[in-house]
Structure 1
Amino acid sequence: MGLFKQNPFGHYLILKKWVIRILGALTHRRFRGFNELKIEGSEIIRNLPDNNVLFISNHQTYFADVVAMFHVFNASLSDRDDSIKNVGYLWNPKMNIYYVAAKETMKSGLLPKIMAYAGSISIERTWRAKGEDVNRQVKMSDISAIKTALDDGWVITFPQGTTTPFKPIRKGTAHIIKHYKPVVVPIVIDGFRRSFDKKGLRVKKKNILQTLEIKEPLQIDYENDSIAEIVEKIEFAIEQHPSFLKVIPQDVLEAEEALNEMRKWRPNNP
């Protein structure tokens, strides 16, 4: 890698590599130490093309979700099977991973600005700004930036655009899928909301079993599937379709709580 080589967004790759290394080293114990991250689907990561891959996921914290994916993707590419044991996999990280994030979030402090250098595609949300509902046009420069990132590598996006569960899928994601025809890989996460604060910067609770499931790429007919059909496929794939919401009897809830207690990870577990 040339010392002054840049990616399409003007970021120096040598600096980006060190940002990923340092942040990775600082955050590793959040997913393997304070808590335990259970991973499924590492082999899917190894079989993906080098670019034009769009990861879609449910969203639980501002930053921890993406950080976990950076760990899992790089560990998987280093031939670790469903494990992030030994953070050495970040010595030579995949340099063309990007993630879509709200511009105001990435400018909210020094640490977010540093994290943005790791691969943020900062966009202006069309529905929310400064804690209030808004209604504004999509900026074509934001769409163009996502296209640039897809052309260069992998892009992580959270199509609900919020950490609140079961909110509607933003149609913009479906339009991107239909227009740019990426390989679409769903990811379902859980346990992050219980482990971290809303921003995902502070460990709120220890010994929580976190899960990250990588699913097979979606089957999409880019020419014939409608935007509504793609949205529905996304909803089911990331387990945020309204049908997943249901009234659960009290005895079932109690049984589920007991199961969660049994599944809670503890350092002395075999």
Structure 2
Amino acid sequence: MGLFKRNPFGHILFIKTWLIRILGLITHSRYRSFNNLQIDGSEIIRSLPDRNVLFISNHQTYFADVTAMFHVFNAALKGREDNIKNVMYLWKPKLNMYYVAAKETMQEGLLPRILAYVGAITVERTWRAEGKDIKREVNPNDTENIKIALEDGWVITFPQGTTRSFKPVRKGTAHIIKQHKPIVVPIVIDGFRRSFDRKGLFVKKKGILQSMEIKPPLEIDYENDSVEKIVEQIEFAIEQHSSFLKVIPQEILEEELKLNRERQWKY
């Protein structure tokens, strides 16, 4: 790898490598010491091709979720079986890995800008900006950047576009799937909301059992499945369909309601 070799977005890979190493070393204990990350499905990561893979997941914090995925994916590719022991798996990280994030979130200070260099594909939200509900057209540059990222490697996206549970899946993800025909891998996470603050930058509580389940790729008929059908398939795959509310214990629902009330003023 040349010292100044760049990815399709102009990021210098040498710098990106060292950022992943340093940030990975700093954050490793958040999933292996302060809290315990339980992983299921590492073998699926190892079975995937190097490009055109779209990971879809529920979302609980701005940054801790995707940071954990960088750890888990790289550990799996280095042969770790459902664990992230020995952070040396980040010495030669997978560099063609990206994640979709709101542009305004990634511009809020120096640290988000550094995290953006690691692999953010920033997009303008069409339904919300600066804490207010809006309605605007999709920026074609955003969808083009996602296409470029898929052509180059793996992309992580949170199709609900919010850290609040059981919110609707945005149709934009389904359009991307129909248009670019990626392998779609669902991920279900839990425990991050209880472990970290809303942004996922600070440890809020220690000793929490976090979980990440990597599921087999979805079976999608890219030509014939409707956008609505794909949206519903995503909701079931990441366990955010409204039907899941019927099987969630009442105490968890009450805790979630309390958390949403506390966050309401921030959205």
TM-score scaled by length of structure 2: 0.93
Instruction: Tell me how far apart the structure 2 counterparts of residues 118 and 205 of structure 1 sit (CA, whole Å).
Output: 26
Does 1:191 find its partner at 2:206? Answer: no
Instruction: Tell me how far apart the structure 2 counterparts of residues 254 and 244 of structure 1 sit (CA, whole Å).
Output: 15
Instruction: Tell me how far apart the structure 2 counterparts of residues 255 and 224 of structure 1 sit (CA, whole Å).
Output: 38
Any idea what the Cα deviations from partners look like across 1:216-260, whole Å, max 9, x if unmatched? 000000011000000010000000001011276xxx65799xxxx
Does 1:119 find its partner at 2:130? Answer: no
Instruction: Tell me how far apart the structure 1 counterparts of residues 228 and 186 of structure 2 sit (CA, whole Å).
Output: 17
- Letter of the 1:229 counterpart: K
Which residue of structure 2 lines up, in the alignment, with residue 134 of structure 1? Answer: 134
Which residue of structure 1 lines up, in the alignment, with residue 146 of structure 2? Answer: 146
Residues 1-270 of structure 1: matches in 2 within 5 Å? 1-246=1-246, 253=250
- Give unpaired runs (5+ residues) of structure 2: 254-267
- Letter of the 1:198 counterpart: R
Aligned length: 254
Instruction: Tell me how far apart the structure 2 counterparts of residues 134 and 63 of structure 1 sit (CA, whole Å).
Output: 24
- Letter of the 1:178 counterpart: K
Identity %: 73
- Give the C-alpha shift of residue 209 in structure 1: 0.1
Shift in alpha-carbon separation, 1:247–1:43, aligned structure 2, 3 A: closer
Shift in alpha-carbon separation, 1:182–1:255, aligned structure 2, 3 A: closer
- Give unpaired runs (5+ residues) of structure 1: 257-270
Shift in alpha-carbon separation, 1:253–1:20, aligned structure 2, 3 A: same
Which ranges of 4 or more aligned residues in structure 1 deviate by more than 4 Å?
252-256
- Letter of the 1:218 counterpart: L
Which residue of structure 2 lines up, in the alignment, with residue 259 of structure 1? Answer: none
- Give the C-alpha shift of residue 160 in structure 1: 0.2
Any idea what the Cα deviations from partners look like across 1:98-128, whole Å, max 9, x if unmatched? 0000000000011000000100000100001
Instruction: Tell me how far apart the structure 2 counterparts of residues 49 and 191 of structure 1 sit (CA, whole Å).
Output: 29
Query: 3-state SS of the aligned residue for 1:99?
Result: strand
Instruction: Tell me how far apart the structure 2 counterparts of residues 210 and 140 of structure 1 sit (CA, whole Å).
Output: 36
Instruction: Tell me how far apart the structure 1 counterparts of residues 185 and 225 of structure 2 sit (CA, whole Å).
Output: 17
- Give the C-alpha shift of residue 9 in structure 1: 0.1
Which residue of structure 2 lines up, in the alignment, with residue 266 of structure 1? Answer: none
TM-score scaled by length of structure 1: 0.92
Instruction: Tell me how far apart the structure 1 counterparts of residues 116 and 107 of structure 2 sit (CA, whole Å).
Output: 9
